[in-house]
Structure 1
Amino acid sequence: MARLSYALLLGLVGAGIVHLAILFLLPSYSVRDAWTRLSAVAAPYDTVRFDREKLAGKVPIPADPFIEAAACRFDLSRGSLHVHGEGSVPFWSMSLYDHQGLNVFSISDRATPDGTLDFIVLTPAQMQHVRSRFAPDLGQSVFIETDVEEGIVLLRVFVPDETWEGAATVFLDGISCEPRPLD
């Protein structure tokens, strides 16, 4: 019985130490989230390419060596967001994340017309406004309606081998992430 009591006491003390360590480490991890780290290197609507050499330690770099990525922060209170790019790569995907880093929406080139990168991100109120006054230059754009006002657009490109690195670089460097005021 004494051994059981000793084991329980030791387990409780160990669990208490682990919980205290987590509480003390939490503030240091809360300032290293993706939003904070991305805002330290770029302004809203600036596209940041996750270059492994240049940004190592500053922004989260994809662990997969076959994936190249770029991101931009946005604020839909300024108007809708227009994300577009040119070029051709074997595969790309786009994800929207909210301010806390939760994935809100994801899409890939397989779900778009001709695999083109051309998106408009809007709030529900902005979507109603756009429906009443449709702009003809947005005919091929994919409209994404979200409740998120501030967030991050993350674009990933699959680079299967070295021969695709040039195309991936052109594609990621050509991505435009810009606010579009409501008319």
Structure 2
Amino acid sequence: MARLLYAVLVGLVGAGIVHIAIVFLIPFYSERDSWALVSEAGPPYLVHRLDRAGPAGKALANADPMFEVAACRFDLEDGSVHLFSPGHVPYWSLSVFDRRGQNVFSLSERTATGGILDVVVAKPLQLIELRKAMPANYENAVFVETDISEGMVILRSFVPDPSWRQTVERHISAARCETGAG
């Protein structure tokens, strides 16, 4: 009976120590979330290439090395966001995340019109206003309706071999993330 009481006491003390350690580590890890890493890359409404040697290196440590990654932060309180890049690459994918890093929407060149990166992210009321007076440059865009305020877009482009690197880098360099009307 004494051994059982001793084991329970040691277990409770150990659980308490682990709990306290976790509570003290929360601030360290919460400040290093994906939003903070993308924020360090630069200001909102600009497409920033996320370099493995830069601030986002920790987040990209396990990413496929055959993909180039770029990000753009936005705030839908400023209006809708239009993301576009001309040209074709072997494969690209785009994901919209909220500020907490939850995936809101994803698409790839296979589901985009003509394989061209052309996406508009907007709140429901902004989307209604856009459809009333559709800008000419939105005619082939994929519309993403979301209730988030702040968010980020992650663009991944595939580099199948070194001969494609320059084309992919041009595609990412030409990518634009602009606040729109509404």
Structure 2 length-normalised TM: 0.92
Matching of residue 147 in structure 1 with residue 147 in structure 2 = yes
Q: Which runs of 5+ in 2 are unaligned?
A: none
Q: Is the CA contact 1:50–1:59 (under 8 Å) kept in the aligned structure 2?
A: no
Shift of 1:57: 5.3
- Alpha-carbon distance between aligned partners in 2 of 1:131 and 1:11, rounded to the nearest angstrom: 62
How do 1:32-111 residues align onto structure 2 when only pairs under 5 Å count?
A: 32-53=32-53, 55-56=54-55, 60-61=59-60, 63=62, 64-111=64-111
Most deviating of 3-12 and 91-100: 3-12
Structure 1 residues 27 and 147: alpha-carbon distance in aligned structure 2, compared to 1, 3 A threshold: same
Letter in 1 for 2:157: V
Shift of 1:38: 2.0
Q: Which runs of 4+ in 1 moved over 3 A?
A: 56-59
Matching of residue 118 in structure 1 with residue 118 in structure 2 = yes
- Alpha-carbon distance between aligned partners in 2 of 1:59 and 1:144, rounded to the nearest angstrom: 29
- Alpha-carbon distance between aligned partners in 2 of 1:70 and 1:117, rounded to the nearest angstrom: 13
Partner of residue 136, structure 1 = 136
Superimposed CA distance per residue, residues 121-157 of structure 1 (whole angstroms, 9 cap, x where no aligned partner): 1100101111222223311111111101110000011
- Alpha-carbon distance between aligned partners in 1 of 2:12 and 2:35, rounded to the nearest angstrom: 36
SS at match of 1:95: strand
Shift of 1:4: 2.5
Letter in 2 for 1:109: E
SS at match of 1:61: coil
Q: Is the CA contact 2:41–2:56 (under 8 Å) kept in the aligned structure 1?
A: no
- Alpha-carbon distance between aligned partners in 2 of 1:34 and 1:169, rounded to the nearest angstrom: 23
- Alpha-carbon distance between aligned partners in 2 of 1:123 and 1:57, rounded to the nearest angstrom: 28
- Alpha-carbon distance between aligned partners in 1 of 2:61 and 2:81, rounded to the nearest angstrom: 24
- Alpha-carbon distance between aligned partners in 2 of 1:175 and 1:13, rounded to the nearest angstrom: 54
Q: Is the CA contact 2:72–2:177 (under 8 Å) kept in the aligned structure 1?
A: yes
Task: Give aligned pairs, total.
Answer: 181
Percent pairwise identity: 46
Superimposed CA distance per residue, residues 27-56 of structure 1 (whole angstroms, 9 cap, x where no aligned partner): 111111121222233111011101223x15
Q: Which runs of 5+ in 1 are unaligned?
A: none
Shift of 1:98: 0.5
Structure 1 residues 124 and 62: alpha-carbon distance in aligned structure 2, compared to 1, 3 A threshold: farther
- Alpha-carbon distance between aligned partners in 1 of 2:58 and 2:80, rounded to the nearest angstrom: 25
Shift of 1:8: 2.2
Structure 1 residues 144 and 155: alpha-carbon distance in aligned structure 2, compared to 1, 3 A threshold: same
- Alpha-carbon distance between aligned partners in 1 of 2:121 and 2:32, rounded to the nearest angstrom: 26
Structure 1 length-normalised TM: 0.91
Structure 1 residues 47 and 89: alpha-carbon distance in aligned structure 2, compared to 1, 3 A threshold: same
Shift of 1:181: 2.3
The CA RMSD measured in Å over matched residues stands at: 1.7
